[in-house]
Amino acid sequence: MRVAVIGGSIGGLTTALVLRDVGFDVEVFERTPAVLQGRGAGIVLQPDTVRWFEEKSRVSVDQVSTSASRLRYLGPRNTIVHEQPGSYRFTSWTTIYQPLLDDLGLRHYHLGEHFVGLEQDQDGVDLRFVGGRRERAELVVFADGISSTGRRRLLPEVEPSYSGYVGWRGTVPEREITAETLELFLDSLSYVVTGDSHVNLYPIPGANSELGAGQRRMNYVWYRNVPLGPALDELLTDKRGFLAAVSVQPGQVQDHYVAELRSAAVAELPPAAAELVAKTAEPFIQTVLDIVVPRMAFGRVCLVGDAAFAARPHAAAGTAKAAADAWALGAALRDADGDVPAALAVWEPQQLALGRNLVSRVQDMGRRSQVTGTWTPGDPSLLFGLYGPGR
């Protein structure tokens, strides 16, 4: 059976690898013209995300991740207001993407193929691409992310909902950080909580996936409230004058906003966190959105990962959700002996429930940190996890 996966990022690659391992002929179609590089920043690794590396890949988890052994909250003047033991692994987008692509192989990864339309019948799905390419498959999986073209074709009524805040993100090479700040953050998943905001910080591999001391980077995301309307539109307008829907990329944020960010860090954050913000060469902005779909399966077509549910990052479960969708899809297809409609009918309800639960939970976490000021250090309900806090 032939499977077409639309979208070649981490979710699409994981889906392709899992379904190929089940026994299907899988091809991935990625719209960008070159192999993806340097996207995003840090990723918290959860069990579904690392399962491929633990069970199938030629690369081990230890080769693609950093780790921390505690959860820590910082207060004014770098005081430690809460600390507890924990076990965490972190990576970067580039570090995990490349070995997944290597495992799949470029022969099955088609660049510069922008999907535009489809029709399906009882036996298969016909796909059309911008350049004129046409493909037919017995199963089509849309793993094309938060701006999914597949979702717009299948569920045109579903629109992203803005959360009321954005995430300012950045990384700083370990060698540029003072010893005092590094000591506070290096072996920790760290938080700073203010009245209507919070910052999350952790170590990730270096720019070229290095894991050695002095070669890693510190990654952070600082959630800051911005009202919907002109203020948000102006913030999301990049240096070229284009209004970004999802993120303003490194180097494209208007200079006066970067200057304001650094000034606010000194005024509002502990010195260690402010140091990281000040030393970030090119901070970038991620718009925090919610997307909830009523369906994920459409005959022989399905949506996975952010193409279906986009969840705020507070549970660190976006990448894990895409992987969980992929592993569950593989199991359903195997159990249904390749009967695609039957497999999707079994697969869809559990993945819908998982997505709805995750979005509801992170919405509550966002309200507690950005609106009500009730995010309490050490509260177990605030722990990372796809299936629930700490799970």
Place of tokens 């793993």: 143
Q: No. of H helices and E strands in the chain?
A: 10, 18
Predicted TM-score of the model (pTM): 0.95
Tens of pLDDT along 152-175? 999 999 999 999 999 999 999 999
Q: Tally the residues of the chain.
A: 391
Q: Both ends of the chain: CA-CA distance in Å?
A: 34
pLDDT of residue 36: 75
Beta bridge partners of 169: 221, 284
Tens of pLDDT along 16-45? 999 999 999 999 999 998 887 766 689 999
Q: Where are the alpha helices (DSSP H) in 179-270?
A: 179-185, 230-235, 255-268
pLDDT of residue 34: 82
DSSP track, 261-311: HHHHHHHHS-HHHHHHHHT-SS-EEEEEEEB--S-SEETTEEE-GGGT-B-
Tens of pLDDT along 259-269? 999 999 999 99
Residues 6+ apart with CB under 8 A from 324: 48, 351, 354, 386
Asked if pLDDT for residue 120 goes beyond 90, the answer is yes
pLDDT of residue 64: 95
pLDDT > 90: what percent of the chain?
A: 96
In this prediction, residues 143-155 reach a mean pLDDT of 97
In angstroms, the CA 296 to CA 298 distance is 7
pLDDT of residue 244: 94
Asked if pLDDT for residue 315 goes beyond 80, the answer is yes
Tens of pLDDT along 348-380? 999 999 999 999 999 999 999 999 999 999 999
By the 10 Å C-beta count (0-12 exposed, 13-18 middle, 19+ buried), 22 is classed as middle
In this structure, are strands 80-92 and 2-6 parallel, antiparallel, or unpaired? Answer: unpaired
